[in-house]
């Protein structure tokens, strides 16, 4: 079985699952805290203000800086290294998230200050999330596993967080109030920072330019779409390249990838609809139906448990499945049906069943998307291209809550759900007709990223050398 990881002759880095295990642990901790907060914060605003519009405003204020800062963070991640960016931003997020319940308990949290703190968390969380994603292919190289399997495991981690987070969040809110959920978020960020800073072995997540210089060559996109090589001297000189030139290199590469651009546009629209669904439509449905935060936790858990199952299957067999068919089947299951079942006000068991089926389909999406990205983007450009791609795909998320809140205020919950569900179905159906999707399997198991080989690991003592075998 071929893998997307290629090891250069003379590479000293031993085969080890420790980098991937440490990275997935940090992702699990921080993502679980974020999922708890995603329930606690909207419920806090909705319960204290009674306004769906203000609930959407909070989501807008968090996600706007998330997207904007993430878009500009690529060259910084490539220059400083994803490891440094990850643990420092998680540390800042922990402090900011911890101040929210502290100030609220002291009676010093007016709404405008809540918006400031939420905006700060969003601004630093964007680069932190991206930095962890950038380290996935490197960790896969050290574990010597296919990219689909590594991204599948990352998908399992995300889905587990999406399962545990809503359950914990709903329970905490019901028992102790929403501020308890925000406290858990702060603790999770702090733990995630510690894991990245102290648990990952040395050499993981180094600056991309420096790593290219050590390896003696790095891949650059050629006109024919192949990964050309440049000399070690040129790679070393790249350390002096300015921020905006690095930014333009990422933008130029992304513009030359029709498949990635098509994916980004489609995901951008569906992300906008998902954001409005999760931050406004589901909380309003839970309040109007009388289920409260507990039912939000139940639906999130049903979705998450099934998504974990889908992600586990994807991690095991996705590299053998036809990507295009699986991708659009997953979107068909996870998209419009959940909007429709809430609009029809079906019994809770029907809602949970629809969410479970949708979660199972969603579990196959991220492993495929991640593998395609890591195959097509050279390693030294991952930070820049990933930042731009993610930011464009997430650009509609800040508007999702605002638009959903306004739609509910103007027309009511049911019309808003039906329109959003119809748009979701139309987006995925129309996108599936584009010819670019035939490229999904072209670089399978190869990938340009493989041209950026693992640099020789720095000398370590026996006690520092990773010991966990894959």
Residues near 373 by beta carbon (within 8 Å), at least 6 away in sequence: 260, 385, 386, 389
Q: Would the CA dihedral through 242, 244, 248, 254 be positive or negative? A: positive
Alpha helices, H only, 177-276: 178-194, 208-215, 232-237, 243-255, 258-276
Which of 203, 157, 207, 101 lies closest to 456, judged by CA?
A: 203
pLDDT digits (tens, 9 = 90+) for 433-468: 777 777 776 655 554 544 443 333 333 332 333 332
Q: With left for phi above 0 and alpha for psi between -120 and 50, is residue 447 left, alpha or beta? A: left
What confidence tier does 337 reach under pLDDT thresholds 50, 70, 90? very high
Strand, coil or helix: 42: helix
Which range, of 18-22, 83-87, 119-123, 320-324, averages the lowest pLDDT?
320-324
pLDDT tops 60 at residue 146: yes
- Rounded distance, CA 55 to CA 49, Å? 8
- Mean pLDDT value across residues 25-49: 85
**Amino acid 232: pLDDT:** 39
Burial string for 259-289 (b: 16+ CB within 10 Å, else e) reads bbebbbebbbbbbbbbbbbbbbbbbbbbbee
Tell me what percent of the residues of the chain surpass a pLDDT of 90: 23
pLDDT of 457 reads 34
Residue 144: name the closest of 27, 13, 316 by CA. Answer: 13
Over residues 205-225, the mean pLDDT reads 50
Q: What is the pLDDT of residue 95?
A: 93
- Over the stretch 364-385, which tens digit does the pLDDT of each residue have? 888 888 778 888 888 788 888 8
**What's the mean pLDDT when you consider all of the chain?**
79
* Model pLDDT, residue 5: 40
CA angle, 428 then 432 then 433, to 5°: 130
* pLDDT at 296 > cutoff 50: yes
Write out pLDDT tens, residues 359-368. Answer: 999 888 888 8
Residue-wise pLDDT for 157-170, tens only, equals 887 887 777 777 77
Global confidence as pTM = 0.67
Are 330 and 428 contacting, i.e. CB atoms less than 8 angstroms apart?
no
> Which range is least confidently modeled, 95-109, 324-338, 425-439?
425-439
pLDDT for residue 241: 67
Q: How far is CA 123 from CA 60, 334, 469, in A?
A: 12, 29, 37
4 has a pLDDT exceeding 70: no
Task: Identify whether the C-beta of residue 16 lies closer than 8 Å to the C-beta of residue 141.
Answer: no
Among the ranges given (26-30, 138-142, 252-256, 272-276), the one the predictor scored with the smallest mean pLDDT:
138-142
């Amino acid at each position: 079985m071929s893998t997307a990881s290629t090891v250069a002759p003379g590479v000293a880095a031993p085969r080890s699952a420790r980098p991937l295990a440490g990275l997935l642990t940090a992702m699990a901790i921080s993502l679980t805290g974020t999922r708890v907060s995603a329930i606690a914060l909207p419920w806090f605003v909705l319960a204290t203000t009674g306004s769906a519009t203000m609930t959407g405003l909070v989501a807008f204020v968090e996600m706007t800086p998330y997207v904007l800062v993430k878009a500009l963070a690529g060259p910084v991640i490539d220059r400083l290294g994803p490891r440094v960016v990850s643990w420092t931003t998680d540390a800042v997020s922990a402090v900011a998230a911890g101040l929210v319940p502290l100030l609220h308990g002291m009676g010093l949290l007016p709404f405008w200050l809540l918006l400031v703190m939420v905006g700060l968390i969003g601004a630093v969380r964007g680069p932190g999330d991206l930095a962890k994603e950038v380290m996935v292919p490197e960790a896969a190289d050290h574990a010597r596993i296919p990219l689909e399997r590594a991204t599948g495991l990352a998908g399992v981690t995300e889905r587990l967080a999406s399962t545990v987070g809503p359950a914990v969040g709903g329970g905490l809110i019901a028992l102790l109030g929403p501020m308890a959920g925000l406290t858990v978020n702060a603790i999770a960020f702090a733990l995630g920072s510690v894991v990245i800073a102290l648990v990952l072995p040395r050499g993981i997540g180094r600056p991309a330019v420096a790593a290219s210089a050590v390896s003696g060559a790095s891949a650059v996109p050629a006109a024919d779409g192949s990964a050309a090589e440049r000399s070690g001297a040129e790679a070393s000189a790249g350390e002096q390249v300015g921020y905006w030139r690095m930014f333009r290199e990422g933008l130029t590469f992304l513009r030359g990838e029709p498949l990635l651009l098509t994916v980004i546009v489609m995901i951008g629209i569906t992300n906008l609809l998902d954001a409005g669904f999760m931050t406004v439509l589901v909380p309003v449905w839970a309040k109007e139906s009388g289920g409260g935060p507990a039912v939000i936790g139940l639906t999130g858990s049903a979705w998450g448990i099934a998504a974990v199952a889908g992600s586990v299957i994807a991690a095991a067999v996705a590299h053998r499945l036809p990507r295009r068919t699986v991708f659009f089947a997953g979107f068909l299951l996870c998209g419009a049906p959940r909007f429709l079942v809430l609009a029809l006000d079906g019994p809770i068991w029907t809602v949970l069943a629809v969410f479970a089926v949708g979660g199972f389909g969603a579990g196959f999406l991220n492993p495929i998307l991640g593998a395609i990205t890591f195959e097509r983007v050279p390693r030294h450009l991952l930070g820049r291209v990933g930042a731009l791609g993610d930011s464009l795909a997430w650009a509609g998320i800040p508007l999702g809550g605002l638009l959903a809140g306004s739609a509910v205020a103007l027309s009511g919950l049911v019309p808003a759900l039906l329109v959003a569900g119809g748009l979701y179905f139309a987006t995925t159906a129309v996108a599936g007709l584009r010819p670019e999707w035939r490229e999904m399997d072209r670089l399978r198991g190869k990938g340009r990223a493989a041209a950026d080989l693992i640099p020789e690991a720095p000398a370590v003592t026996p006690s520092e050398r990773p010991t966990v075998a894959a």
